Amino acid sequence: MLLLAVGLLAGCASAPAPHLSSLVYRIEATETRLSVEIEAQGAKPARWYLVGESNLRVASGEQRATVKGGVLRLPAEHLSYAYSLKSRLQRSQSLERGAGVPGSFVVRGDRYLLVPRPGILLPETRVELRFKGLEPFLPWPCVREGEEWVARLYANDLRQLGFHAFGARRRIPLQLEEGARWEVVLLAGDLLASDERIERWIQEAAQEAARLGAGSPRERVAIVLVPTPSGEPAPFGRVLYSEPRSAAIYVGQRAPERSFAGDWLATHELMHTLHPRFDGQPRWLSEGIAAYYQCLAPIRSGRERPEVLWRVLAQGVATGQTEALGRSLQEVAKAMHTLPAYSAVYWGGALLALEVDLEIRRATEGKRGLEHVLAALRPRGSVTLREFGRSVDALAGVAIWEQIRRAHLEGQALRRAKPLLRGLGIGPGGALDSKAPGAKWRLRLERGS
Ligand SMILES: [Zn+2]
């Protein structure tokens, strides 16, 4: 009896849990609709997930069920449903759930593609996205196979599907650093600025980000430009941590040509492609790195004069100090949307990034900087703050991180502003003092050497 029980237990323990051998999505993209069919093989997923979606009706043969709170309880190997963009494009545009015009739009992949729970997938599970109708543009390259465009993914890719664009009006060629083959598409919609001006604008921002790749830029970044009725050149954008990275940026249809020269948003967004995903989401770190480089990158490329962008940083820091009201950077980051305290988080983080860059350069006689830390971390899927700190110390060759971390994260947010900026010869309004003790280091930050 005992032997039998042990045998049964052993049998249970060694029986392989069912896993999917393949998962194939067939998507037909028409003017305002994405019709999706999913075929799973090897197991029957009990639940499916669709981020932030409710009321989507899904069929499996005769069975019907509705997605509630992002979850579909419909054990099935075949699913079919339609994701309609009609009202989303007419009334409630968002980069998340649908933006653009009929026949030329963008949507987040995880907002329209149901995915099974990760545990049912194996690294070798075959995942295919097969498209018909409007031409797709994804984080992954698509190959044409007869009537279809096909993207073959790893199971892990289903965790972050990036932006999916359909029916782009134009592909914009980019000339970047060696090893960077980034792609840009522009969706349909009349623009006051010429296509040539848009091309130059996105080329400059992409090139500045690729150059900061410290000799190993990301191989691919997929960028979608979405015309929107605005007078600003780029009113909003977002980068998703798919692998490869995926960016969507609104372009103002009424923005005059000349306004694109002073745009910082595209630069900021593309700077997010430099860093890894940070576990635990310390927004001050990712936003701080992007805000810091949004100032530094155009100085390094010669697109903007140093005094203009150090002034942007100094003014951002001053606004951040007002917003923080004595709270710590951690506290303002947690309550960033409710306070609101965006400047405190972005520019508080930018000061930390500036000090990390400066101290690594001091320790390595200018040979290394923050961009080298980010390059070393880039192959990693995600990174904790502790791992980031370890990489900073490893690159510097001495332990500098703990002191910087405490100075920026303990006590009042942005309290390092005055000594740090004054030391570099950057006055409160951004006026530059070339006689300041650290002025030569400011010049080295500007040159990146
Ligand atoms: Zn950002």
CA nearest neighbour of 222 among 280, 151, 154, 288:
151
Both 296 and 196 in a single domain?
no
249, 237 in Cβ contact below 8 A?
A: yes
Both 190 and 263 in a single domain?
yes
377, 275 in Cβ contact below 8 A?
A: yes
The domain tally of the chain equals 3
Cα(272) to ligand 1 centroid in Å equals: 7
Alpha helix (H) residue ranges in 265-384: 265-271, 283-301, 306-324, 329-334, 342-363, 370-377
Both 269 and 291 in a single domain?
no
Residue 364 lies in a domain: yes
Cα(236) to ligand 1 centroid in Å equals: 10
Cα(21) to ligand 1 centroid in Å equals: 38
Both 236 and 290 in a single domain?
no
Q: What are the DSSP calls for 379-418, one per residue?
A: TSSEE-HHHHHHHHHHHHSS--HHHHHHHHHSSSTTTTHH
Both 262 and 380 in a single domain?
no
Cα(287) to ligand 1 centroid in Å equals: 5
Cα(76) to ligand 1 centroid in Å equals: 39
Using the structure block, give the residue that is written with the tokens 């979606």: 53
pLDDT of amino acid 128:
98
In the structure, ligand 1 is a single-atom ion and the residues with CB under 5 Å from it are 287, 290
Cα(385) to ligand 1 centroid in Å equals: 18
pLDDT of amino acid 8:
42
Cα(290) to ligand 1 centroid in Å equals: 6
Q: What are phi and psi of 109, to 5 degrees?
A: -60, -40
Cα(148) to ligand 1 centroid in Å equals: 35
CA–CA distance, 185 with 100 (Å, rounded to integer): 13
Name the DSSP class of 68: B
Both 305 and 249 in a single domain?
no
Cα-trace Rg, the chain? 24
Per-residue pLDDT of the chain (449 residues; tens, 9 = 90+): 444 444 344 444 555 668 999 999 999 999 999 999 999 999 999 999 998 888 999 999 999 999 999 999 999 999 999 999 999 999 889 999 999 999 999 999 999 999 999 889 998 999 999 999 999 999 999 999 999 999 999 999 999 999 999 999 999 989 998 889 999 999 999 999 999 999 999 999 999 999 999 889 999 999 999 999 999 999 999 999 999 999 999 999 999 999 999 899 999 999 999 999 998 878 999 999 999 999 999 999 999 999 999 999 999 999 999 999 889 999 999 889 888 999 999 999 999 999 999 999 999 999 999 999 999 999 998 999 999 999 999 999 999 999 999 999 999 999 999 999 999 999 978 899 999 999 999 999 999 88
Both 154 and 234 in a single domain?
no
Using the structure block, give the residue that is written with the tokens 């910087």: 404
Residue 11 lies in a domain: no
Residue 366 lies in a domain: yes
Residues of the domain holding 47: 21-84+109-160
pLDDT of amino acid 14:
52
Both 123 and 154 in a single domain?
yes
Residue 9 lies in a domain: no
Cα(314) to ligand 1 centroid in Å equals: 18
Cα(269) to ligand 1 centroid in Å equals: 6
Query: The pTM is what?
Result: 0.93
Both 356 and 397 in a single domain?
yes
Cα(284) to ligand 1 centroid in Å equals: 10
Cα(285) to ligand 1 centroid in Å equals: 10
Amino acid at 278: F
CA–CA distance, 437 with 306 (Å, rounded to integer): 18
Cα(276) to ligand 1 centroid in Å equals: 13
Cα(270) to ligand 1 centroid in Å equals: 9
Last residue of a domain, one of 273, 288, 314: 273
Residue 3 lies in a domain: no
Both 418 and 436 in a single domain?
yes
Cα(263) to ligand 1 centroid in Å equals: 14
Distances from the Cα of 40 to the Cα of 28, 64, 78, 392, angstroms: 18, 17, 6, 44
Cα(9) to ligand 1 centroid in Å equals: 52
- Coil, helix or strand for 3? helix
Q: What are phi and psi of 266, to 5 degrees?
A: -60, -40
Last residue of a domain, one of 273, 294, 328: 273
pLDDT of amino acid 214:
84
As given in the structure block, the two tokens for residue 395 are 């690159």
Both 214 and 320 in a single domain?
no
Residue 429 lies in a domain: yes
pLDDT of amino acid 17:
67
Cα(395) to ligand 1 centroid in Å equals: 25
- CATH number, domain of 52, equals 2.60.40.3650
196, 139 in Cβ contact below 8 A?
A: no
Both 214 and 269 in a single domain?
yes
Cα(264) to ligand 1 centroid in Å equals: 11
Cα(289) to ligand 1 centroid in Å equals: 9
Residue 263 lies in a domain: yes
Residue 14 lies in a domain: no
Cα(14) to ligand 1 centroid in Å equals: 47
Last residue of a domain, one of 160, 188, 203: 160
